[in-house]
Amino acid sequence: MARSERLLALLQLLRRHRHPVSGATLADELGVSIRTLYRDIATLQAQGADIEGEPGVGYVLRPGFMLPPLMFSQSELEALMLGFRWVQKFADMPMTKAASDALAKISAVLPAELRDELENTALLVGPRRVVDAEVVDLVLLRSAIRRERKLRLAYADAAATFTDRVVWPVALGYFEETRMLVAWCEARNDFRHFRTDRMREITLLESRYPRRRAQLLKDWRTQDSMRRQPEGGQSGA
């Protein structure tokens, strides 16, 4: 077990005990010597962990403590880095910048050994085959989703037929070659999927839609799951 993972495991052990637990018990559960256990506790305390106790008495971690630098295992760091790299490659520019800023914040508080693991992970994301084709601002779409506000869309379907829709935006899906808005369409009285590269104009309306987004998202997932049954069905704008 890597030292960073052992320190995280030690924190998890301490969280499970409400009362002081002896160093011998902790060392036995971790499979390390008592001297190594004492060094690990000293390391955690130096990192800011509110661990009280001493040899022969026992140790306890005060409730509510979170230690960001040690909250990730090596596999979790790899998953995070892979996710960041995917966003940097396939998301729109504001989201890409947000991912880079978030990664910098996480990297800044990691111990040196974990920072090296994060930056040198061998998990890569392949090249993007298409360039951004949107003429609308995806920041506005995401804002409408968060604020549960209606949107007016000037939209072109696959046959280049233009329609004007009022929709309730629910979610924004990112794919390798396109992005898709999931929304309740007032004209269709049903959920529809709108490709962002076919949107010619979007207007954020003042009115909120009458149902909570969380419930709409749940309903869409249920409906989408049913449509994926063997008998099938089609969804589209």
Three-state SS string across 132-181, please?
CCCCCCHHHHHHHHHHCEEEEEEEECCCCCEEEEEEEEEEEEECCCCEEE
pLDDT score at 224? 83
- Are both 142 and 202 inside the same structural domain? yes
pLDDT score at 128? 75
pTM of structure: 0.64
pLDDT score at 71? 62
Among 12, 35, 70, the domain boundary falls at 70
- Are both 153 and 213 inside the same structural domain? yes
Tens of each residue's pLDDT in the chain, 237 residues: 667 778 878 888 888 877 889 999 999 989 999 999 999 999 888 877 888 888 878 999 887 555 555 567 778 888 889 999 999 888 888 998 888 888 887 787 777 777 787 888 888 888 777 666 789 999 999 999 999 999 999 999 888 899 999 999 999 999 888 899 999 999 999 999 999 999 999 999 999 999 999 999 999 999 888 877 765 444 456
Is residue 127, in this structure, part of any structural domain at all?
no
Is residue 236, in this structure, part of any structural domain at all?
no
Among 70, 91, 108, the domain boundary falls at 70
Is residue 26, in this structure, part of any structural domain at all?
yes
- Are both 102 and 147 inside the same structural domain? no
- Are both 59 and 15 inside the same structural domain? yes
Element (H, E) at 185: strand 179-185
Q: Which two tokens stand for residue 129?
A: 């085959």
- Are both 112 and 151 inside the same structural domain? no
- Are both 113 and 170 inside the same structural domain? no
Domain that holds residue 43: 3-70
- Are both 42 and 111 inside the same structural domain? no
- Are both 9 and 66 inside the same structural domain? yes
The burial class, CB within 10 Å (0-12 / 13-18 / 19+), for 59 is buried
